[in-house]
Copies of this chain bind each other. A is one copy, B any other.
Amino acid sequence: MTSGVHPLRVVLVAPRNPLNIGAAARAMSNFGCTELRLVNPYEVAFREARSAVKAHKVLEKAEEFPTLGEAVADCGLVVGTTSIGHRALEHPLRRLEYGGRLIARKLVSTPVALLFGSEKFGLSNDDMSHCHWLMRIPTREEHGSMNLGQAVAVCLYEIVRNPAAAKPEPDSRRAARAGDLERITGLLGEILEHSGYVHERVEGSTELKLRRLVRRMKLNAHDAEVWLGMLRQIRWKLLS
C-alpha cells in the first residue's frame, strides 16, 4: 500500500460468499494491499473464492482466526465499516472521505485493521466494541448497504487516493501557435466564401466570428497542422 509503511489489514468477519471473498482479495491486489484476515468464515468458503482474478497471492497469504480479538491483536488502530441503518451507534462515526485520510496517516506509525461484517448482518455490536471508531461510505440513505467486494474496493481506493492528484495534470501537448490559428481562420474564410456560405468576405463581423470559433477549438500544435492540411486540400479542390 503506497500510503503507509505499515500494512493495512482487511478483516472480513464471518463472510459467507466465496465470490465476495474473492472480490475483496482482487480489490486488495488492485490497490496493493496484501494482508487479508478472515474471522470465522463460513465453511472455509474462502478456499473456493473464484472470482479472484490475479488475487491468488492475497488469498494464499490469507489468515484465519477464530475470534475478532485475535485477528486485530497486533493492530494499533481498529476501524469498523458500517452502513449505519437505524441502529444507534455508541462509536464515533466518520465518513470515508475523512476516515480514509486518518487511516492513511495512521499507517505511517502502526498497522491498521479495517473490518467488514458479514454480507447479511454487517458487524455486530460485539464486533464493533473492538473498534476505535466506525466509518461509513457516503451511500444514499434509501440504499446504504453495499456489496462486500465493492465496499472493500471503495474504502481501499479512498485510502490510496492521492489528494495531490486531484489537480490538473500538465498538458503534455504543445498548444497551437497563434500564427497557425490565424492561417486556419484565413483558409476557412476563403473556403466559406467560395462555397457561398459567406457572401461578403470583407464583412468584418464574419471574420471576427471565425477567428473566435477557431480559438475555441483549443487546438494543439499537431492538430493545427492536420487542420491546415485538410483545409488547404479543400481550397485546392474548390478553386481547381
Contacts and interface: CB of A to CB of B under 8 A. Distances in A.
A161 B138 CA distance: 8
Contact of A168 (B98, B147, B169): B98
A53 to B, nearest CB: 7
A153 to B, nearest CB: 4
Interface in A141-170: 143-147, 149-151, 153-154, 157-158, 160-163, 165-169
A130 interface: no
Task: State the number of copies, please.
Answer: 2
B150 A23 contact: yes
A125 interface: no
A118 interface: no
Contacts of A27: 146-147, 150
Contact residues on A (Cβ < 8 Å of other chain), bracket: 35 or more
A77 interface: no
A95 interface: yes
A51 B161 contact: no
Interface stretch (A28-36, A182-190, A192-200, A204-212): A28-36
A150 B31 contact: no
Contacts of A54: 143, 145
Given A30-B140, A30-B144, A97 B165 contact: yes
A101 interface: yes
Contacts of A23: 147, 149-150
Interface string A91-103: 0101111101100
A82 to B, nearest CB: 14
Nearest to A153: B150
Which 9 pairs of residues, A with B, have the shortest CB-CB distance?
A: A150-B153, A97-B166, A97-B165, A30-B139, A32-B140, A154-B157, A95-B165, A29-B143, A54-B143
Interface of A: 2, 19, 23, 26-27, 29-32, 51, 53-55, 92, 94-98, 100-101, 137-140, 143-147, 149-151, 153-154, 157-158, 160-163, 165-169, 171
Given A2-B140, A147-B153, 16 more contacts: A19-B19, A23-B150, A30-B139, A30-B143, A30-B145, A55-B143, A95-B162, A95-B169, A97-B163, A98-B168, A100-B166, A138-B157, A147-B149, A149-B150, A150-B153, A154-B154
